[in-house]
Structure 1
Amino acid sequence: MTEVPLPYRVTRVHRETADTVTLALVPAGPAASAPFVPGQFAMVYAFGVGEIPVSVSRIGRRTLHHTVRSVGAVSAALCALRPGARVGLRGPFGTGWELGRAAGQDLLVVAGGIGLAPLRPLVLQALAARSRYGRLNLLVGARTPGDLLYARQLRSWTAQRALRHCAVTVDRSADGDGWWGHVGLVTALLKHAAFAPENTTAFLCGPEVMIRATARDLLHRGLPPRRVRVSLERNMRCATGHCGHCQLGGVLLCRDGPVIGWDRAEALCSVREL
């Protein structure tokens, strides 16, 4: 883990949606960050503007991918970068999804909005070691068809049947947007997923209301709370525990999270709204 930002160079910028891009970053000097694992995040620094926590959305041998939505000054500056630009990067920080603990089990991945970004490395890791796991289900929700991340990759996974079940829904659709898929909450897709609750680990990331609703539905279906893994990354701020923004009860998410089991997260949600 690096406390001083290391220089990274932008090699590719892919526009995912009108306000979201994915940056491919490689070390710009001899030093590189320690290896990341799915679920962890970095502090990405836009020179002259500031830094924000961003989960890794793909992990290559030398390349790190970060998917950024423009919602403030720093994220807007990062989204405006072009290939060749430089950023600072500190990390890795936080806990990972710990997919290895789910070996032999069915996997249920539920993503809402930009929550698909920190879950994508987990899906890729599971696909790369397909024989180690049972049925792999991916359920994705977005506000509109235009807000879907990694649309081409989602179509590829569905067409190739790389996953046991891959379903996408949007909150709303309008005439002329070409959407013929499901419209409604992502929790409505759970009834179509194929998994054995007594032998399943679920991974959730997205809007807080989605996380709560999905976790409670899964517990009702028989999943133990400890096998419902959630990311509370939206609470992150400084990554060092100094600002206290990520503190929920006695837990500092930058130190003990952002990925934790619902057996801990449910109590934290009652301490402060996520």
Structure 2
Amino acid sequence: MSENPYLPATVEVLDVISESHDVLTLRLDVKKTSHMPGQFMMLSVFGFGEIPVSVSSSPTITDYIDLSVKKTGSVTSVVHETQPGDTVGLRGPYGRGFPVDEVGDNDLLFMGGGIGLAPLRSFIDYIRDKRDDFNDVSVLYGARTADDMVFRGEFNDWRSMFNLHLIADMECEGWYGRVGYVSELLSEVTLDTENTIAIVCGPSIMMKCVVGELKKLWYPDDKIILSFERRMKCGIGKCGHCNIGDKIVCIDGPVFSFDEVRDSPELWG
């Protein structure tokens, strides 16, 4: 990576992986990155713009990094035209990631919605590669339809190691699993709330509902970990685009415990 925090390094796209009809993963030629699960990079398409993207690959992988991008606007639409062999700009990693070294003897409960599974995947795969270092792991994931689910090719691998439960907001052809919302999957797992850390990422409305359900279970605020996606511009806390109250998401986050941000009026905005 570039030594100048404002100057992107030029990196090659090794592969482009389709995750769903509107999400793809760029596999980039970045070796020995220092990122931790939950951190993000600033990805630029030269001549079009720059966007913040969570790293979706595990730090245990040392010969590339994955960035998973949903098509939502002009820059992401150009990203979706990228081909293997193209070059893109990259700055980072930035932000505070998940508390990997603070998990201790706690069990882990991952709850993701839609593209929110991307940063969670980085931590989940990290645990997979260091399985003996972690206790029980449950992954609860949902999307609008089964066709909107990302990383589907990895579900069998995760299911062999973790407690994986899936749900779709609505029925679609070929889907025989549960229909409903991610928060409803809490009924399928047995939780020791004093000894389980919940890690949540997804659309704001999904995260709000999940936190509400976790609080009904008397979950301690400091054991609810949230990864926020806000419109970040510079990535280094200078532009003021990503504040939640007095917190700057790209510096103080994007990962926060609920007790750090629960009183912010912009929390679910």
Contact 1:104–1:132, Cα closer than 8 Å, also in 2: no
Contact 2:33–2:62, Cα closer than 8 Å, also in 1: no
Per the alignment, do residues 86 and 141 of structure 1 end up closer, same or farther by CA in structure 2, a change over 3 Å counting?
A: same
Where do 5+ consecutive residues of structure 1 fail to align?
none
Any residues of structure 2 matched to 1:149-188 within 5 Å, and which? Answer: 149-158=150-159, 160=160, 162-163=161-162, 165-174=163-172, 177-188=173-184
Output the CA distance in 2 between the equivalents of 1:117 and 1:21. 11
Q: C-alpha deviations, 1:232-261, integer Å up to 9, x for none?
A: 123433212233221122111111011000
Which residue is 1:16 aligned to?
19
Q: Secondary structure at the match of 1:215?
A: helix
Alpha-carbon shift at residue 9 of structure 1 (Å): 0.4
Q: Secondary structure at the match of 1:91?
A: strand
Q: Secondary structure at the match of 2:213?
A: helix
Moved more, 40-49 or 230-239: 230-239
Moved more, 135-144 or 212-221: 212-221
- Structure-1-length-normalised TM-score: 0.92
The alignment status of 1:229 with 2:225, answered yes or no, reads: yes
Alpha-carbon shift at residue 223 of structure 1 (Å): 2.1
Higher helix share: 1
Output the CA distance in 2 between the equivalents of 1:227 and 1:235. 26
Q: Secondary structure at the match of 2:57?
A: strand
Q: Secondary structure at the match of 2:150?
A: coil
The alignment status of 1:241 with 2:237, answered yes or no, reads: yes
Contact 2:205–2:268, Cα closer than 8 Å, also in 1: no
Alpha-carbon shift at residue 153 of structure 1 (Å): 0.4
Runs of 4+ in structure 1 over 6 Å off = none
Where do 5+ consecutive residues of structure 2 fail to align?
none
Contact 2:42–2:235, Cα closer than 8 Å, also in 1: yes
Which residue is 1:85 aligned to?
86
- Structure-2-length-normalised TM-score: 0.93
The alignment status of 1:103 with 2:104, answered yes or no, reads: yes
The alignment status of 1:73 with 2:69, answered yes or no, reads: no
Identity of aligned residues (%): 35
Q: Secondary structure at the match of 1:233?
A: coil
Q: C-alpha deviations, 1:46-99, integer Å up to 9, x for none?
A: 011010000000032021100001111111111110100000000011010012
